[in-house]
Each structure stands twice: as structure tokens, then as C-alpha cells.
Structure 1
């Protein structure tokens, strides 16, 4: 244990840089998933036939082994940072699409009818009534997506990416347990913090609802 803390004290700057790279990949992948996933979730809630196609496609991506998917993306887009971001974007889609769809479906129809009765347009009804009421579900989807993305991002070194995975796999190659523990523990802490903060946000919106 003393060796581990000694390793941390000597390499904290490198670990900080790898953590920054890890967080950046996750944030960019998540932002892309939000930009695409929320509109797809809204489309799904409006049309069940469309929903079956979109959700089936997102499910296929989700069940595809992460390393295999990253390998396919590497062939298509090459090695590097942006290929990892595309992979994280694809893995983050399903929980965001599904939870947006479920959240909008859970809005009481009588509330929507009241909005229509006071002359709201479909966009106003969505923006001012339905979307705010579905936020707890959407945040729950984001919460799941972030935790998944943090885990998948540790595979980034296999396709030329950076992040905490580089520390883990360097430790495996060098048979250095301190490197493995450092990368794995920091990644786990990131996932726990993200889950806790988004859980708090989800609870807050549920209370306001």
C-alpha cells in the first residue's frame, strides 16, 4: 500500500492529465449523444412505428461488444481521440433516447390537453410543459450514459486514444500493479462522483415535479 501512495505522489501530474483527457472524451461523446438522442427520443414519443425502429437500432449498438465496436470504428475513422469520442457517442445513445421517450410518454395526457386548450402550439407544449416534466427521466438516462461512457473510455488505448485506460494497460504490459490500481481507482472515482451528482440532480427535479 505504501508503494501505491508513493507512486501516486510521484506521478500525480501525469494522472491528472490522463484524467482530464478521460473526462474530455466522455463529455464530448455525451454532448453528441444529447444532441442526437433527445430529438430521436422526441420523435419516438410522437410515433410508435418510428420508436420501434429507432430503439431497435440503439439496442443493437448497445449490445455490440465495446472492444469490437471500437475496432470497427478504428477501421472506418482511423486511430485517435475522435474515434474514441464517436464510440462513446454511440454507447451513450440508447439510455438517452429510451429515457427521453419514456419520460415524454409518462406525462399525463390531461396536462397536455390543458396546454392545447389554452392555445399552445405543439412546440410550446413540448418546450414549456412536456419536456420539463420528463426531465427526471432524461437525467436518469444521462446518468446511466455517463457511467457507461467512463467505463468504455478505459478501452481508448486500443485504438490510439488517451485517458486513464493508458495507465491501466501500461500497468498490465509492465506487470506493475501500482499503475493498474492508479488508473482503475481514479476511473472508478470519476464514475461514482458522476453517478452521485446526477442522482442528486434527478432527485431534485423529481421533487420539483
Structure 2
């Protein structure tokens, strides 16, 4: 009876809500994760050639960075309205909008990471007979990886938050639950969906941080050496 009472009294914390709406929460979380993952993955695929273009052709750097910055400033409602004729009311509409929003973070961090690679490292690799492709994949990208991963973490956390805006077209994952609960101010649903969204962002950031540490073991060795020197 106490569990049902919390629904009647509209409490913020309600175990009965979690029990009775568990499948709804799972479905919304799965949709949220799917949209976020798809947007970030496609964003990486699009951002990488743009970053290479901006780095290798300085005259294109300004337009590329400027365009991605302008895209990020477009309000979500306007962005979805512009994309609506092409994608309709679908998950693709939300994913495409999120991809466009992620580009400014991903491209800038990729360019910054590649530009930070020491010139002597490039010269040494060229002296050993490395061609442009091998130089990029075996020297530049590994050295730029910390900056690239930092950009990926920021873009992922940002996308987790922005995915909720997809509730405008019914494709917002946990944002759908928040949107549905606001008219009646259903406290338990608003709080639960919001907390799950925050937990998703934290979990994604920690996961990517773990991947970064696995891919860049030399940064841990360097940090340990610095602590030992002190």
C-alpha cells in the first residue's frame, strides 16, 4: 500500500514507479544509448576527413572550423525543422542533428591533436621511409590520441544530454519520459529519467576514459615518472 501511496501523493522518489514502469525505463534507456552511439560514431567518421583537410590545407581550416561552429549555434528546434523535409519524423532526423552538433568539438580536437605532434617525430619517421599514410596511422594518430579521446569524451557527454531534445519528434530516449511527465508534473518520472540521463553520461565518460588509458599506456608511465621525480 505504501508503494502505491507514493504514486498517489506524487513523490519524487517512488519504488512503485520503478517496479511498474521498469520496461518503459529500459526501452527509453536503450533508445537513448542507441541514438547517442550512432550519432557519435557517424560524427567521428565525418569529422576525421574534415580534420585532415583542415590540417593539410590551411586555406580550408577557417571555413571548416567556421562552418562546424555555426552549426553548433543553431537552436535544436530550428535544426530539426531544417532537416525535417529530408528525414521526416524519424530517429535519423535526431541522429543527423546530433552528428552536426558534434562536429565542432570533434573536428577542433582532432586538428589540435594532430598539430601538436612534434615536428621532430614527423621528420624522424620520414627519415625512416614512412609515407604519408603510414606516418599518419603509425606516428601522428597515436601521438594525437590523448587530444582525440578528450574531444570524443566531451562530444559523447554532450550528445547524451542533447539526445533528450529529440523528444520534440518522439525520438529522445529518456527525454521522451521527461517530456511526457512535465504537463502533469509526474515527479518520480521526471527525476528517474533525469538521473538515468546523468548516469549514462558519467558511465560513457568513464568508459571512454578507460579506453583512453588502455590505448595510451605511455601517458601513465610518464605520469608515474613525474611523481617519482618529486
TM over 0.5: yes
Whole-angstrom CA distance in 2 between matches of 1:13 and 1:102: 43
How many pairs were matched up?
Answer: 209
Q: Residue 130 of structure 2 aligns with which residue? A: 120
Establish whether residue 54 from structure 1 lines up as the match of residue 49 from structure 2: no
Whole-angstrom CA distance in 1 between matches of 2:190 and 2:112: 39
SS of aligned partner of 2:137 = helix
- Distance of aligned partners of 1:185 and 1:2 in 2 relative to their CA distance in 1, 3 Å threshold: closer
Whole-angstrom CA distance in 2 between matches of 1:2 and 1:67: 29
Q: Residue 176 of structure 1 aligns with which residue? A: 186
Structure 2: runs of 5+ lacking an equivalent:
1-10, 220-230
Q: Deviations over 1:74-118 (max 9, x none)?
A: 244211211011011111111111111000000000000001111
Structure 1: runs of 5+ lacking an equivalent:
none
Q: Residue 77 of structure 1 aligns with which residue? A: 87
Equivalent of residue 145 in structure 2, options 135, 144, 147: 135
Q: Deviations over 1:147-166 (max 9, x none)?
A: 11111110112123141111
- Distance of aligned partners of 1:3 and 1:105 in 2 relative to their CA distance in 1, 3 Å threshold: closer
Whole-angstrom CA distance in 1 between matches of 2:94 and 2:157: 16
Equivalent of residue 188 in structure 1, options 195, 198, 202: 198
Q: Residue 15 of structure 1 aligns with which residue? A: 25
Q: Residue 228 of structure 2 aligns with which residue? A: none
Q: Deviations over 1:132-160 (max 9, x none)?
A: 11111111111111111111110112123
RMSD: 1.7
Whole-angstrom CA distance in 1 between matches of 2:192 and 2:78: 26
Contact 1:74-1:159 within 8 A present in 2 as well: no
Contact 1:136-1:205 within 8 A present in 2 as well: no
Equivalent of residue 46 in structure 2, options 36, 39, 63: 36
Instruction: Compute the TM-score of the two structures, normalised by the length of structure 1.
Output: 0.93
Q: Deviations over 1:50-93 (max 9, x none)?
A: 11110000000112222321232224421121101101111111
Q: Residue 100 of structure 1 aligns with which residue? A: 110
Q: Residue 120 of structure 2 aligns with which residue? A: 110
Deviation at 1:207, TM superposition (A): 4.4
